[in-house]
Amino acid sequence: MITRRRFTGVLAAGVATAGWASSAPPAGAAPLGATSLGVIKHVRAGELDMAYAEFGPADGPPVVLLHGWPYDAGSFVDVGPLLAEAGHRVVVPFLRGYGPTRFRSADTKRNGQQSAVALDVLALMDALGIDRAVLAGFDWGARTVGVLAALWPRRCRAVVPVSGYLITDVEANREPLAPAAELGWWYQYYFATERGVLGYRRDVREFNRLIWRTASPSWDFDAATYDRTAASFDNPDHVDVVIHNYRWRLGLAPGEPRYDRYERRLATRPVITVPAITVGSDFDGAAADGAGYRDRFTGPYEHRVFAGVGHNVPQEAPELFARAVLDAGRL
């Protein structure tokens, strides 16, 4: 494990000379294990009033960090300060359906398809005056990073997607996996039923606590850590967005026609040309080596495996994740 002192020492020695970080970290950095994202800000981002946390100087090289399900911006509670200490402007939004983020209109479909989420992030970047950024994320966040890199590469200085290439092709997703592999996706089939919708809506916190435990069996998170994130599931649109996401991915719920042109392009499995560092963890099982998606990344590229780390990579291994983000910006 990289210690905090060693991590900041490495940054001071190497990152500033690479032309990406603006300065070495300040002395007296707070220890890992933060319990707050600080002041949560809001901005009008497309069809959302998007909530986000922000770290570091406003004129620093931008980094946008994207969470997945069933997590929230708190997954980056330690990563954000680490990157800020190196001089970066770090933006960590709550995705649609999570935390304080809200749809601006009651008439907007509570859509969870991949291109809708990616366009939210583009709208956020536009609203905050961010032309290009290093984008990093896991689960839904990794998929969104991939979509942005594939369709809008000019907006991406580099990317760090955990689990690699997660862009969804709905037609290809109709093909069954081996029985043992299907077992791991049990919740998708549960969500495909009305019983599953009722069950998730009725007991969302305990449901997601189970996912945390099964997706990260070696992570000894405490009740307070989980409860801070679980508050995000009280968002009034959370269940609708989550259910639509998983049903859409299985071809069981329609997307919206306004996104069809993006989805047609994504269905071709476009390559990602921007610099990338992909991350595999124990959650990925046999796919952790990244071999299955190596051909989808045609620009400067590295793959890293974080052994002993589960699904919530940035919260379980913040120093390693932050290191990957910084290194990606220098590829």
Q: Please, what is the average pLDDT of the chain?
A: 92
The predicted model scores a pTM of: 0.91
On the question of pLDDT at 259 being above 50, the answer is yes
**Position 201: which residue type?**
R
Query: Which pair of structure tokens corresponds to residue 221?
Result: 């998170």
C-alpha–C-alpha distance, residues 140 and 167, integer Å: 10
Query: Which pair of structure tokens corresponds to residue 4?
Result: 């905090």
End-to-end CA distance of the chain: 23
C-alpha–C-alpha distance, residues 205 and 227, integer Å: 9
The average pLDDT across 31-45 equals: 92
The average pLDDT across 30-55 equals: 92
- Give residue 306's pLDDT: 98
- Give residue 57's pLDDT: 97
Q: Is the dihedral of CA 112, 118, 121, 123 positive or negative?
A: negative
Instruction: Provide CB contacts within 8 A for 237, sequence distance 6+.
Output: 96, 97, 102, 103, 110
On the question of pLDDT at 25 being above 80, the answer is no
The average pLDDT across 204-224 equals: 97
On the question of pLDDT at 4 being above 80, the answer is no
CA–CA distance from 22 to each of 18, 25, 67 (Å)?
A: 9, 9, 25
The average pLDDT across 92-97 equals: 98
Please give the angle made by the CA atoms of 299, 134 and 12, to the nearest 5 degrees.
105
What are the helix (H) ranges across the chain? 4-14, 79-85, 114-127, 140-151, 170-173, 179-183, 186-191, 194-202, 204-215, 223-230, 238-249, 260-266, 313-316, 318-328
Q: Tell me: the pLDDT tens digits for 140-154?
A: 999 999 999 999 999
Band of the pLDDT at 31, cuts 50, 70, 90? low
Band of the pLDDT at 24, cuts 50, 70, 90? very low
The average pLDDT across 195-205 equals: 98
Instruction: Give which of 95, 50, 57, 101 is closest to 76, Cα–Cα.
Output: 95
Domain ranges of the chain: 4-16+34-328
On the question of pLDDT at 293 being above 50, the answer is yes
User: What is the percentage of the chain residues whose pLDDT exceeds 90?
Assistant: 87
- Give residue 61's pLDDT: 98
DSSP-derived letter for residue 90 is E
- Give residue 181's pLDDT: 87
On the question of pLDDT at 274 being above 90, the answer is yes
Q: Check residues 7 and 252 and name the one with the higher pLDDT.
A: 252
On the question of pLDDT at 27 being above 50, the answer is no
Yes or no: domain 4-16+34-328 corresponds to CATH 3.40.50.720: no
On the question of pLDDT at 116 being above 70, the answer is yes
Instruction: Give which of 151, 165, 153, 161 is closest to 259, Cα–Cα.
Output: 151
Instruction: Decide if 311 contacts 139 (C-beta within 8 A).
Output: yes
Residues 16-51: b if buried by 16+ CB within 10 A, e if exposed: beeebbbebbeeeeeeeebeebeebeebebbbbebb
Q: Tell me: the pLDDT tens digits for 216-248?
A: 999 999 999 999 999 999 999 999 999 999 999
- Give residue 66's pLDDT: 99
